[in-house]
Amino acid sequence: MRYLPYILKHLRRHWLRSLLTVLAMTFCIFVFCVLQTFLAAVQQNLEAGDSRRLVTRNAVSLVFNLPITYKERIAGVEGVERVAAQNWFGGARKAGDFKDFFPNLAVEAEPYLEMSPEYILTEDQKRAWLEDQSGCILGPATAERFGWKVGDRFQLESFIPPYRVGKPFEFTIRAIYATDEKRFPGTDKTVMFFHRKYLDEATAHRVGVGTYVTQIADPARAGTISREIDALFENSERQTHTETEQAFRASFIAMAGNLALLLNSIGLAVIFVILLVTANTMSMAVRERRTEMGVLKTLGFSSGKVMGLVLAEAGLLGALGGAIGIFFSTGMIQALPHLPFIGDAVRGIADFGLPASVALTGFSLALGIGLIAGLAPAVAAYRASITDLLRQV
Amino acid sequence: MGRNRPVPGERVFMAMVEVSQVRKIYQRDTQAITVLDGIDFQVPEGEFVALMGPSGSGKTTLLNLVAGIDRATSGMVRVAGQDLSTLSEGALARWRSHNVGFIFQFYNLIPVLTALENVELPLLLERLSKKQRRERALTALKIVGLSDRAQHYPRQLSGGQEQRVAIARAIVSDPKVLVADEPTGDLDAKSAEEILTLMETLNRDFRKTIVMVTHDPRAAQRAKRRLHLDKGVLQA
């Protein structure tokens, strides 16, 4: 600590250079934290999938529906406990306007609730929903976002052509489901569920089923049952593809072109550039101060101590940048759901916030970059003899 | 600041600096350059010696050996009773911080530190509180007559004042030996006079043993003894 004022004074010597280096580090940690927070949230959402649930979709694409008749045949497979049909409705308060978008699904309410314990309803709430065909249940985050409460009515209109019936669908909120972070971490708090029967009747039974959600008794048999289900429809016009709910969610990420790899690559590129920037700063700082280092050694500072001072200076640059980067990324992550376009993408992610582990990794990374950047000049200062250092003017 | 005055019965003239058969050879590619060749001399405690000679005669190299910032190729350098060749790099650094104060030609103050902080720098290596460090640094500045400039940065001081701050830094750890490499080489005549007077005071009143390199005959006149070096050999 006694050397801290000395180190700070040196950083202030070329304050603009120090400031720019700290800002570069800030940007690096900011990007790292935001990207990693997004990835962590996506990962958590994936892990939230129940390993006892399978999802069956059209083998060609999610865009194409499956016949309603498939339900009974899937239910007949050994090991299947229950099946629920569901459709991604894609409704918005104004058709095509995704500014206020939140995920909404038409589901077969009874079996779906039975196999989805993460959406917690009281018996009264459940009954109220089941008895009202235009009723819906709503995630607490969405209810809070729009200031909606039980009994409120609102309209949604889908952008998907088969679900467009010339007028908006009208819904009454029958319950706001609760979640339990300990038992079911990562549960989405933004989804709205309504009766599939409502969608089916409003579209005059013209639409099929988007996906079938199947609950199985033994997660260890997920692979076998998936193959058995798909085998049922192997020779039919609409073949199926069945996988676990976790794999189904992961496929969305794969469709986005391996988002994790992309984001990590961006993060690594930024980190590498900042490492070079900081290394350049430290090399310049040490090169300019060779004589001073010679003086320090002459005064009795050991080579190790001089090396330590250089490393401490580099580490401090990193730590400062890291701390500021974390501060700004916290703000950005909080603001992200309120931004247009990007906000729509992250709003559905449960508990979107900077995890402590990401912040800690970001800070360690900043410190590490600083120390690595300072290592080469520090070793050079360590090795140089006093007479060589004093000879440079 | 300790006044190393002799007490009755004490042996006054023990050798503070003892250089025996010292050679220093630099290797430049395949060529060996002998800078010092068989140097022998002693400096008793409390003496003020001027090392003179033309450029390239090996004055600064010899001074560096005495200060423990370079090592002899062969021979022995004993300063304040310590054979410097036996010390490791770390031990030599600790030894320097306690036994030698170095005064440079171009002062070599740290520009981002105030005069007080510059003087305080060697004390960071001691087990002292911040208050103790401040007090000792202020005392050193008072000795060189610059206590009123404690908060000034080097750029706010004249050359003579900068050198006085450098001298304060050299004496703040109360070393036994002061080594000075052309301490007046970058100063005008008046400032040089002041610096030499200050060094005389340190030698006379504080019993500091001083080895000063200079090629200014007027500066050398202020020393008690003059040694002449030419082509790496001490002249009789």
The whole-number average pLDDT for the span A151-175 is 92
Q: Which CATH architecture has domain B46-71+87-235?
A: 3-Layer(aba) Sandwich (3.40)
A15, A302, A303, A307: which to substitute to probe chain B, counting the most B Cβ within 10 Å? A302
Of A300, A304, A385, the CB nearest to B125: A300
Name the residue facing B108 among A295, A305, A385 (closest C-beta).
A295
- CB distance from B119 to chain A under 8 Å? no
Interacting residues of A308 by C-beta distance below 8 A, sequence separation 6+: A378
Contact check, Cβ <8 Å, A295/B104: yes
What pLDDT, in 10s, does the model give residues A48-104? 667 789 999 999 988 899 999 999 999 999 999 999 999 999 888 877 677 778 889
Question: Using CA atoms, how far apart are residues A19 and A122, in angstroms rounded to an integer?
Answer: 56
**Are the beta carbons of B94 and A302 separated by less than 8 Å?**
yes
- Closest partner CB to B112 (pick from A13, A301, A303): A13
**How much is the ipTM here?**
0.90
Distance between CA atoms of residues A165 and A320, nearest Å: 57
B75 close to B22: Cβ distance less than 8 angstroms: yes
Q: Are A173 and A152 within 8 A, CB to CB?
A: yes
pLDDT of residue A350: 60
pLDDT score, position A176:
95
Q: Residue B114: closest CA among chain A residues belongs to which residue?
A: A9
Surface of B (52-91) touching A: CB under 8 A? 64, 67, 69-70, 89-90
In a mutagenesis test of the B interface, which of A7, A295, A298 is the best target, namely the one with the most B β-carbons within 10 Å?
A298
**Cβ partners under 8 Å of residue A390, min gap 6:** A291, A294, A295, A298, B69, B104, B108
Asked if B175 reaches chain A (Cβ–Cβ under 8 Å), the answer is no
Q: Which amino acid is at B49?
A: V
Residue A392's pLDDT is 52
Would you say residue A393 has pLDDT above 50?
A: no
Instruction: Specify the pairing of strand A169-176 against strand A135-138.
Output: parallel
Q: Domains of chain B: which residue ranges?
A: 46-71+87-235
% of chain B at pLDDT higher than 70:
94
Q: Which candidate from B64, B70, B93 shows the least CB-CB separation from A301?
A: B93
Distances (CA, A) of B164 to A45, A252, A258, B221: 69, 74, 67, 20
Q: Which residues of B touch A301 (CB under 8 A)?
A: 93, 97, 125
Q: Closest Cα of chain B to A312: distance in Å?
A: 16
Q: Which residues pair with A57 in a beta bridge?
A: A241
**Integer CA distances (angstroms), B207 to A24, A357, B141, B212, in order:** 54, 62, 18, 15
How far out from the chain centre does Cα A245 lie? 17
Confidence of residue A344 (pLDDT cuts 50, 70, 90): low
List, for residues B114-143, the tens digit of each pLDDT value.
Answer: 999 999 999 999 999 999 999 999 999 999
Give the mean pLDDT of A290-300.
Answer: 93
Question: Residues of A with CB below 8 A from B95's CB?
Answer: 300
- pLDDT-derived band at A324 (thresholds 50, 70, 90) equals very high
Categorize the per-residue pLDDT at A306 as very low, low, confident or very high, splitting at 50, 70 and 90: very high
B3: pLDDT strictly greater than 50? no
**What pLDDT score was predicted for residue A48?**
65
**Chain B hits for A387, Cβ within 8 Å:** 64, 69-70
pLDDT mean across residues, chain B: 91
Q: Per-residue pLDDT averaged across B186-191, rounded?
A: 90
Cβ neighbours of residue A261 closer than 8 Å, sequence gap 6 or more = none
Distance CA A252, CA A254 (A): 5
Inter-chain touch A299–B122, beta carbons under 8 Å: yes
- Tokens 């309803």, residue located: A121
Alpha-carbon gap, residue A186 to A42, rounded angstroms = 9
Q: Do A3 and B108 touch (CB under 8 A)?
A: no
State how far the Cα of A270 lies from the Cα of A278, in Å rounded to an integer: 12
- Count the alpha carbons within 13 Å of A219 in the hemisphere toward its beta carbon: 8
pLDDT band at B8 (very low <50, low <70, confident <90, very high): low
Whether the CB-CB separation of A244 and A222 falls below 8 Å is answered with yes
Q: At residue A255, what is the residue type?
A: M
Beta bridge mates, B28: B31
Interstrand relation of B177-181 and A192-195 (parallel, antiparallel or unpaired) = unpaired
Task: Please give the interface size between A and B, counted as residue pairs whose CB atoms are below 8 Å apart.
Answer: 68
pTM of the complete model = 0.71
pLDDT in tens, B34-71: 999 999 999 999 999 999 999 889 999 999 999 999 99
Cβ A300–B97 below 8 Å, yes or no?
Answer: yes
